[in-house]
Amino acid sequence: MELTLKHTLKILSVIILSGACAPVWAAETTQIELNSTTQSGDACRLTFTANAPFGLAALETQTVLFDTQGAVSTFTLFDFGEVPQNGLRVRQFDVPGTQCGDIGLILFNGVERCSTSDGASCEHALTFASRVDAIEVQQ
């Protein structure tokens, strides 16, 4: 099929307009990182950092902890709360009855709530990682 100049311009217009209509935050992601773990009595304290270039009004995740053998040990919700635009926040979650050394994987199973500071949904602009060698993080 031969493309005429008219067809080429139409195709280019669609490409340009679709990019121009994308939300500003679509190219940027909020990074949630497991930063460290600390044993606190019978609870494992998980410390996360949240870096949100576009700001978050709310973030709550369905979080599943697996032991080192791959069995589900805990299913819970983590509420990361508000994160200011271009801000870094630290959040800690205590998991009672859990030894930190027994956690092999943290799965962010789903997003219960995620909205940007301007009210837009943001669940597709999240990435999760781990700085802790012994614990893998998946999404």
Is residue 84 within 8 Å of 55, Cβ to Cβ? yes
In 3-state terms, what secondary structure has residue 19?
Answer: helix
The CA R_g of the chain, rounded to the nearest whole Å, is 20
Domain presence at residue 120: yes
What residues make up the domain containing 96? 30-138
Instruction: Indicate the Cα dihedral angle 46, 135, 73, 78, nearest 10°.
Output: 40
Is residue 46 within 8 Å of 95, Cβ to Cβ? yes
pLDDT at 22 over 90: no
Is residue 34 within 8 Å of 137, Cβ to Cβ? yes
Domain presence at residue 113: yes
- What is the pTM (predicted TM-score) of this model? 0.79
Largest CA distance in the chain: 72
Domain count, the chain: 1
Domain presence at residue 59: yes
For 99-123, write each residue's pLDDT tens digit.
Answer: 999 999 999 999 999 998 888 888 8
pLDDT at 9 over 70: no
